Amino acid sequence: MPLPTHLLEQTAAERIAPLKVLDGDDRLLVHEIYTSIQGESTHAGKPCVFIRLTGCHLRCVYCDTEHAFKDGEKTTLEEVLSQVRAQQIPMVELTGGEPLLQKGAFKLLQNLCDEGYTVLLETSGATSIEKVDRRVKVILDVKTPGSGEVHRNLNKNIDLLWPGCELKFVLCDRADFEWACQWLEQHDIPDYIPVLFSPEAEQLPPVRLAEWITAQRLPVQFQVQLHKILWGDERRR
């Protein structure tokens, strides 16, 4: 289901209003912390602890985490770390919403790395990754025209990517696919950055995308939204 109109039409201020409760506070507004299977990266299939922070300034039409646009609990860094430790899983993903809207996210990522976790960060690509700890594996979305948010891509993020990072395109249709191919031709992406093409679950049959990739001999990695195959739209927590 596409996002409802009232969410798509929210002003920039309305979108980030839920974060006002932090008001300069170093704490994090946490929507949920839970363990599931990592579903959308080269790490797909591994058990992973998800820390989902509240709030996003984008409104991708296909967003399936609108529940994270609001509602969260102000939580200290130590409380978050303690909840993660209790899960006893070596991989952690910070996600949202857009987790980098909260200044406490950067310190949280650093602390998780210090504690020896494999740390993934799922980000929209619309917020700078410059201050992210270089031990973090950033899964950076490149928003396509079909998302409705293509104008929000921050090109400078592409130049900042380091080994361990990945680029992800969620494709809605053939026009998105052609746009993504052209984007890759125009950007000099180092070989050490995997490029992932994923079909948007409700608009593009996976087999179509697989056929297009193989027909064009594209050096990208096909993936499906594994958590949707496993649990549909049911929330895991």
Contact residues: ligand SF4, CB under 6 A? 56, 58-60, 63, 65, 96-98, 124
- Which tokens in the block code for residue 236? 């895991």
- Which tokens in the block code for residue 9? 């039409």
Phi first, then psi, for residue 117 (nearest 5°) are: -75, 155
Q: Around Cβ 37, how many Cβ atoms within 10 Å?
A: 16
Torsion sign over Cα 91, 94, 95, 96 = positive
Q: Which is nearer to ligand SF4, 56 or 105 (CB)?
A: 56
Minimum CB separation from ligand SF4 for residue 32, in Å? 13
Q: Which is nearer to ligand SF4, 65 or 225 (CB)?
A: 65
- The DSSP 8-state label assigned to residue 202 in this structure reads T
Minimum CB separation from ligand SF4 for residue 233, in Å? 14
Minimum CB separation from ligand SF4 for residue 154, in Å? 12
Q: Can you name the residues that pair with 52 across neighbouring β-strands?
A: 32, 95
Residue 97 CB contacts under 8 Å (≥ 6 apart), including other chains = 31, 52, 53, 54, 55, 56, 65, 68, 69
Residue 155 CB contacts under 8 Å (≥ 6 apart), including other chains = none
Minimum CB separation from ligand SF4 for residue 60, in Å? 3
Q: Which is nearer to ligand SF4, 163 or 232 (CB)?
A: 232
Q: Which is nearer to ligand SF4, 95 or 118 (CB)?
A: 95
Torsion sign over Cα 104, 124, 46, 235 = positive
Instruction: Report CA Rg, the chain.
Output: 17
Q: Which is nearer to ligand SF4, 7 or 113 (CB)?
A: 7
Backbone angle region of 98, left / alpha / beta, with phi > 0 → left and psi within -120 to 50 → alpha: beta
Q: Name the 3-class secondary structure at 129.
A: coil
Minimum CB separation from ligand SF4 for residue 100, in Å? 11
Q: Which is nearer to ligand SF4, 124 or 223 (CB)?
A: 124
Minimum CB separation from ligand SF4 for residue 59, in Å? 5
Minimum CB separation from ligand SF4 for residue 5, in Å? 14
Q: Which is nearer to ligand SF4, 81 or 166 (CB)?
A: 166
